Structure 1
Amino acid sequence: MYKFDREKYDKRMQWFTHDRFGMFIHWGLYAIPARGEWVRSTEEIPEEDYIPFFNEFNPKDFDPKKWARLAKQAGMKYAVLTAKHHDGFCLFDSALTDWKVTNTPYGKDIVREYLDAFRAEGIKVGLYYSLLDWHHPDYPAYGDRQHPMRNNITYKDKPYNFDNYLDYMHGQVRELCTNYGKLDMMWFDFSYDDLTGEAWRASELVRMVRSLQPDIIIDNRLEVSGSGFGSIATDEPLEYSGDYVSPEQIIPQTGFKDSRGRNICWEACITMNDNWGYCAKDKNFKPAEMIIKKLVECVSKNGNMLLNVGPDARGNIPAESVEILEKIGAWMQKNSDSIYGCGGCDLPKPENGRITKNGKTLYYHIMENSIGGIPLQGISLDEVESIRLISDGTEIKPLKNWIVENYPDVVFVQVSNTVKLPDDIDTVIAVHTK
């Protein structure tokens, strides 16, 4: 009989709640048509019209070491790669299928190359595995609202045995957990309609994963979709509830609490543009300034950000994504102490930014300048041990003048002699309290 062990849970989540920032990598055959990772479903492409991409896949520019260096430079502490997406194509050398990267012109095991490169940079490694599979003959097609052949009448009476698919799916997850060394994270995607929880034989699956990878962290999508929370919000999570909530393309209004008021771990997975997989025409990239502020927002609400890149058919991360990550990295190089190991605090959100906290240190993220001094609301002078500008360690003394005398319960500081803040994206002030 399964019994949730909160002590073990808290221990395995320590690195996750410390590192806060990760890289998501969506890559596969869909990079060739370059219309997003759902292209086979949205355009209802028959199998025979999708196979040519398999025969063509040969990303000659793929350099996993380059990807890993970029992630490290951006300040990302962990990464997750799509080992298998919904189209069923495997970026690893599975013994259970021929629909895999080692049978393409590229010929090499991309999962292994990715793991070796990212581990070498000290980045924790995870693998994404889709519960869906539009290639497998025993995955339901006609009438399934996701499958490319959902409306193809020739599939209406085609027999399938879903247990055969589940055996295959469990077998592939076993391969990933057995053949590639220590994995820090398994990112399952996703439950929907009647396919949720034990429909995937989820307890059996999680039991197997944890027996092979005792310290692994698992998302919550065996139980729910990206829009749900599941039993992780209760005092007794189910065996397959996963370890954290996974909101997609949105940052929640507040952090999450369980039924007893404890913080729930969560991670917002976010695209840089409007697609996860490479989409040549999608140039709607979020500016680095916005992503930095949203990362801070996640941390201030006790959450993580998993930021996506979608490499092209040749294996290059788009130039726009590289530029964004370099800008994020420049900010993180100076300000990462306000991200790593930090979470939210009980103080209300300031009008001019946000607050993150690590122990007795409050990090005031100033995203808008003030007139008459920057207010550090929520603390009093007698609580302050020191105030520093985090980017260079500059001492900041509290303002004491007639302008601020009417606000004795607020600490005011000045960080610039001009109307501009030292960092026009987010100037971070560290307040070390007694």
Structure 2
Amino acid sequence: MQDHSIQFEPATERTELIARYEKMRYGMFVQFTMNTFLDQPFWQTLKDPLPRPETYSPTKLDVEQWITVAKKAGMRYAVLTAKHYLGFALWDSKHTDYDVATSGNKTDVVAEFVKACREHGVAPCLYYSLGVDVAHRRDKAMTEDEWYEQARNQITELLTHYGPITVFWFDGMGPVPAARLQQAYDTVKSLQPDCLVMMNHGHVSGTRLRRWPTDLIDGERTLPPPEGHNPWMEHDGKTYYIPMEVCDTSAQGTFSKGWFWEPGEQMKEVERELLALYQRTTSRGANLLLNVAIDREGKVPTATVERLLELGEAINRGGTP
């Protein structure tokens, strides 16, 4: 990524843009990528030989079904894993050959996702692994400058080819230097000033902001304290307004064992557990981003649909989110 002469920074007040995000409260974390088609545990795939692109081969891909389910379940935004840790891109990227264009199903999933979101009134958001990318950082052994230039180019593709994006959700932050975080943030803001940036923290209340700059923080599988999230947060002696989100699979891991779909996974009756997760999260001032693992056909599994709709009905009985 290139240096910017002007650095952007997060909001120092509760802006209208942030208020709209806070009011959404409930979203779908769409986990669908190369890992969906692998039998190995997620962390093992980071060490294994890189799967060939044609391994990705959904047979009944139905992106609109995902968003129809999200809408019916009361979810107001959705986050798609456009590029996860293995580096496989769910769009035809001109900056890699490890993408849908060389795979077993050449559908531009990002395009279909954004289109479906707009048609159904669900805010489209995109996930991008910034620091972890097996295909390029490990196997191609790119230099740091080469890698971050590719990242800048891919972020630019995502923010110039698909219209307004509500949140750009960065992950894989461990190896990313602070200056590169600023450059990534600036790239997003220079292309879409109204796009909120999430630098995934796995944040615990009371701890410092480890990934900066960021408009939002995520407590990955971590709730705000009982007294609620305090969005007024300090960084380098200055106070900012930073809302919180919690991303999770379920309260007790009964809705989905992991982030990605797994063969033979058994669903349990979890309405009560999921409703408790939703209520604890939102009552403490955070949004809930609930993980939904897409199967190898390319659809939300029937059992998952049933649980999501049950949860949506339960939420409505207790008050619309």
Q: Secondary structure at the match of 2:116?
A: helix
Q: How far does residue 2 in structure 1 lie from its aligned partner after superposition?
A: 4.4
Which residue in 2 is equivalent to 1:195? 176
Structure of greater relative contact order (alpha carbons < 8 Å, 6+ residues apart): 2
Alignment partners' CA distance in 2, 1:111 and 1:159: 27
Which residue in 2 is equivalent to 1:92? 91
1:245 partner letter: I
Instruction: Single out whichever of 278-287 and 179-188 deviates more from structure 2.
Output: 278-287
Alignment partners' CA distance in 1, 2:183 and 2:141: 25
Which residue in 1 is equivalent to 2:49? 46
Q: Secondary structure at the match of 2:246?
A: strand
Task: Identify the match of residue 305 of structure 1 among 267, 281, 288.
Answer: 288
How many residues in Structure 1 have an aligned counterpart in Structure 2?
304
Alignment partners' CA distance in 2, 1:185 and 1:246: 12
The change in CA–CA distance for 1:332 and 1:117 in structure 2 (over 3 A counts) is: same
Which residue in 1 is equivalent to 2:28? 23
Q: How far does residue 180 in structure 1 lie from its aligned partner after superposition?
A: 0.6
Which residue in 2 is equivalent to 1:12? 17
> Within 5 A, what are the aligned runs for 1:235-250?
240-250=212-222
The change in CA–CA distance for 1:292 and 1:159 in structure 2 (over 3 A counts) is: closer
The change in CA–CA distance for 1:160 and 1:176 in structure 2 (over 3 A counts) is: closer
The change in CA–CA distance for 1:134 and 1:8 in structure 2 (over 3 A counts) is: same
Which residue in 2 is equivalent to 1:226? 202
Instruction: Single out whichever of 26-35 and 292-301 deviates more from structure 2.
Output: 26-35
1:210 partner letter: K
Give the TM-score of the pair, scaled to structure 2. Answer: 0.85
Q: Is the 8 A contact 1:34 1:278 kept in 2?
A: no
Which residue in 2 is equivalent to 1:60? 59
Alignment partners' CA distance in 1, 2:133 and 2:269: 31
Q: Is the 8 A contact 1:72 1:121 kept in 2?
A: yes
2:194 partner letter: D
Task: Identify the match of residue 302 of structure 2 among 298, 319, 322.
Answer: 319
Deviations, residues 220-260 of structure 1 (Å, cap 9, x unaligned):
33xxx424679986xxx99x421122011232333333457
Alignment partners' CA distance in 2, 1:33 and 1:159: 23
The change in CA–CA distance for 1:299 and 1:108 in structure 2 (over 3 A counts) is: same
> Within 5 A, what are the aligned runs for 1:33-182?
33-41=38-46, 44-47=47-50, 50-51=51-52, 54-131=53-130, 132-136=132-136, 139-140=137-138, 160-182=142-164
Q: Secondary structure at the match of 2:199?
A: coil
Deviations, residues 158-179 of structure 1 (Å, cap 9, x unaligned):
9641211111111101110111
Q: Is the 8 A contact 1:230 1:241 kept in 2?
A: no
Q: How far does residue 62 in structure 1 lie from its aligned partner after superposition?
A: 1.4
Alignment partners' CA distance in 2, 1:116 and 1:160: 33
Which residue in 2 is equivalent to 1:214? 193
Deviations, residues 305-329 of structure 1 (Å, cap 9, x unaligned):
0001111111121233112101012
Q: Is the 8 A contact 1:68 1:121 kept in 2?
A: yes
Q: Is the 8 A contact 1:84 1:128 kept in 2?
A: yes
Q: Secondary structure at the match of 1:112?
A: helix
Q: Is the 8 A contact 2:233 2:242 kept in 1?
A: no
Q: Secondary structure at the match of 1:13?
A: helix
> Within 5 A, what are the aligned runs for 1:249-268?
249-254=221-226, 255-257=228-230, 258-259=232-233, 264-268=242-246
The change in CA–CA distance for 1:276 and 1:209 in structure 2 (over 3 A counts) is: same
Which residue in 2 is equivalent to 1:273? 256
1:128 partner letter: Y
Alignment partners' CA distance in 2, 1:259 and 1:181: 31
Alignment partners' CA distance in 1, 2:159 and 2:42: 25
Q: How far does residue 4 in structure 1 lie from its aligned partner after superposition?
A: 4.4
Deviations, residues 100-127 of structure 1 (Å, cap 9, x unaligned):
1122131120110111011100000100
Q: Secondary structure at the match of 1:187?
A: strand
Alignment partners' CA distance in 1, 2:310 and 2:31: 21
Instruction: Single out whichever of 261-270 and 101-110 deviates more from structure 2.
Output: 261-270
The change in CA–CA distance for 1:326 and 1:174 in structure 2 (over 3 A counts) is: same
Q: How far does residue 87 in structure 1 lie from its aligned partner after superposition?
A: 0.4
Percent same amino acid at aligned positions? 28
Alignment partners' CA distance in 2, 1:189 and 1:102: 23
Alignment partners' CA distance in 1, 2:39 and 2:306: 20
The change in CA–CA distance for 1:286 and 1:92 in structure 2 (over 3 A counts) is: farther
Q: Secondary structure at the match of 1:307?
A: strand
Q: Is the 8 A contact 1:83 1:91 kept in 2?
A: yes
Q: How far does residue 332 in structure 1 lie from its aligned partner after superposition?
A: 3.3
Alignment partners' CA distance in 1, 2:242 and 2:271: 27
Q: Is the 8 A contact 2:61 2:299 kept in 1?
A: yes
Deviations, residues 177-232 of structure 1 (Å, cap 9, x unaligned):
1111010011000221x53422xx222221121121111111133xxx42467998
1:100 partner letter: D
The alignment yields a C-alpha RMSD, in angstroms, of 2.7
Give the TM-score of the pair, scaled to structure 1. Answer: 0.64
Alignment partners' CA distance in 2, 1:130 and 1:2: 22
Which residue in 1 is equivalent to 2:252? none
Which residue in 2 is equivalent to 1:152? none
Q: Secondary structure at the match of 2:160?
A: helix
2:128 partner letter: Y
1:134 partner letter: V
Q: How far does residue 71 in structure 1 lie from its aligned partner after superposition?
A: 0.4
